[in-house]
């Protein structure tokens, strides 16, 4: 059966990742570490055949994808369907603030209630349906080719669950590292996992320190 090879990437680090502050649909830029991660990612993928790059239109993902596009020469397309889950009124708050200010909401979120949506946001069921639909739309035209998808932690989590047939409420036992390389195979029957959380391009790289 024909298949589309997918390299799925979570964007590089942002200041809000460091602060454990919920970003959701807020448009937060990469920090210096995130920019460095994007360049290391681009170097790692530079020699691979890539037919197309699709990215969330939020700048932390788009900037990561631009680095890969520069290194590979593959065409880059912004796709709003790859956006992070919308967290509504959670956005801009830290995990600790949500626990303190909205304990009932925090409990339903922590238990991964698939029907729960923060006020103004998306439920996990809505997110998973959006991601499954978007991936099929993007992968179908690229059978027997490889594409890159640059998105967000919630999107990568949905992809992993879809590829491994894990329930939405199953506890997460896998990593969602910034700028890690994750590999999947898409066919009309669905997703399958090939490899996950490869960070060798980051672990083995030496980062230049600024002059004192």
Pick the catalytic residue from 62, 84, 122, 152: 84
Q: How far apart are the first and last CA of the chain?
A: 57
Catalytic: 84? yes
Q: How far apart are CA 124 and CA 114, in angstroms?
A: 5
Which parts are annotated binding residues for substrate? 10-17, 60
Q: Which two structure tokens, joined as six digits, stand for 108?
A: 């339903």
Nearest to 48 by CA among 97, 6, 103: 6
Phi-psi category of residue 45: left, alpha or beta, with phi > 0 → left and psi -120 to 50 → alpha: alpha
Phi-psi category of residue 6: left, alpha or beta, with phi > 0 → left and psi -120 to 50 → alpha: beta
Q: How far apart are CA 126 and CA 104, in angstroms?
A: 21
Question: β-pairing, 52-55 with 146-151?
Answer: parallel
Annotated catalytic residues are 11, 84
């Amino acid at each position: 059966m024909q298949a589309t090879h997918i390299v799925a990437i979570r964007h590089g680090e942002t200041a809000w990742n460091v602060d454990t502050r919920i970003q959701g649909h807020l448009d937060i830029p990469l920090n210096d570490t995130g920019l460095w991660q994007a360049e290391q990612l681009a170097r790692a993928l530079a020699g691979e055949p890539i037919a197309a790059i699709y990215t969330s239109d939020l700048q932390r993902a788009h900037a990561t994808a631009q680095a890969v596009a520069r290194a590979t020469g593959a065409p880059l397309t912004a796709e709003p369907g790859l956006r992070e889950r919308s967290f509504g009124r959670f956005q801009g708050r830290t995990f600790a603030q949500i626990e303190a200010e909205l304990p009932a909401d925090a409990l339903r979120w922590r238990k991964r209630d698939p029907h729960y949506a923060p006020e103004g946001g998306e439920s996990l069921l809505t997110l998973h349906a959006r991601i499954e639909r978007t991936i099929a739309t993007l992968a179908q035209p690229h059978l027997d080719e490889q594409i890159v998808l640059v998105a967000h932690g919630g999107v990568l989590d949905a992809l992993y669950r879809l590829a491994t047939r894990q329930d939405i409420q199953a506890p997460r036992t896998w990593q969602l590292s910034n700028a890690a390389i994750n590999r999947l195979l898409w066919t009309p029957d669905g997703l399958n996992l090939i490899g996950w959380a490869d960070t060798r391009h980051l672990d083995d790289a030496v980062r230049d320190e600024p002059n004192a």
